[in-house]
Amino acid sequence: MRNKIEHIIRQHDPDMQKALSPAGKRSWLRPDYSDYDLYQNRQDYPRTDLPLKPAAVLVPLVERQAGLTVLLTQRASHLNKHAGQISFPGGRSDAQDRNAMETALRETKEEIGIERQLIDIAGAMDDYETVTGFTVTPVIGFVQPTFELEIDRNEVDDAFEVPLDFLMDPGNHQLQSRIHKGHERHFYAVPYENRYIWGATAAMLVRFSQLITKA
């Protein structure tokens, strides 16, 4: 499976142009994929003016003997924004980050302690725009299973793994909605056991599934 994913991602992101794209460039480009794709009444959620806030996440594919898994985090419950939500390790680009890959690797080290030498980057998917005005680059990386988690409790409450096969199965992808500020908002969800994966994280997983399974 790793060989297939690497082949597809490297075709999708030749020479890692997406993964190595600098924040300043990404902030002025309107992504093709976004939270807005699912909204029935887009006028209820006007898009953020450019420039967007550049960010990057790592999609960590852990190489377990039983098969690949995806390592996800649950954000700390005391945070002011997105408290308790499930996400990839990652965050907003800092001034010292030369590109999306560096942001994803730095944030992964800060949040859950995985050293960059244990991560083999294959490339990145297309940027994803969130309703909160971020442009997020999902960087795909294969993680050696010898890592030891060092969770930063200021940012993360927990980290856990989900079998990649489960996340790639379209039968596990749900389209849901809820009322937000008086308007119906549609979003993807991929519930797993007692975990509720939804929003931008779920949307990027659905996009990853489409990229891999339809190639």
Q: Is the dihedral of CA 89, 95, 100, 106 positive or negative?
A: negative
Other beta carbons within 10 angstroms of residue 153's beta carbon come to 9
What pLDDT was estimated at residue 79? 76
pLDDT digits (tens, 9 = 90+) for 2-37: 999 999 999 999 999 999 999 999 999 999 999 988
DSSP state of 145: T
Q: Is the dihedral of CA 132, 137, 138, 144 positive or negative?
A: negative
- Position 82 confidence tier, pLDDT thresholds 50, 70, 90: low
What pLDDT was estimated at residue 78? 78
DSSP state of 119: E
Q: What structural domains and CATH numbers belong to the chain? A: 2-38+46-167 (3.90.79.10)
- Both tokens of 95, joined, read 């001034």
For the chain, give the longest Cα–Cα distance. Answer: 48
User: Is the full-model pTM beyond 0.85?
Assistant: yes
- Position 178 confidence tier, pLDDT thresholds 50, 70, 90: confident
